[in-house]
Amino acid sequence: MNTMNISLPASLKSFVDEQVTGRGYGSCSAYIRELIRHDQDRQHLRSLLLDGGESDPAVTADTTYFETLRARVRRHSTE
């Protein structure tokens, strides 16, 4: 594993220390790693949403589409 050193003002260092203690992280590094993973996930989701928004619709979302969707949900919920 690689090492990275960061400098934080006292208020941020105190906040990180509180999170580590209060949320059960083993170290400051574990907390920072989780923050980075969450940011990666957020960026990936944003990319997927933007790609989906730019793509052509697969089907027209009209009244029939939503009625069919509701029927599928009802069938699934009674199984």
Radius of gyration over alpha carbons of the chain, in Å? Answer: 22
Structural contact between residues 20 and 28, judged by C-beta atoms closer than 8 angstroms: yes
Tokens of 59: 């089907």
Most distant pair of Cα atoms in the chain: their distance: 58
User: pLDDT for 3-42, tens place per residue?
Assistant: 999 999 999 999 999 999 999 999 999 999 999 999 999 9
Q: Which residue has the tokens 């928004």?
A: 53
Query: What span, in angstroms and rounded, lies between the C-alpha atoms of 15 and 12?
Result: 5
Prediction pTM value? 0.67
Grade residue 61 by pLDDT with cuts at 50, 70 and 90.
Answer: confident
* Helix or strand run (H / E) with residue 64: helix 63-78
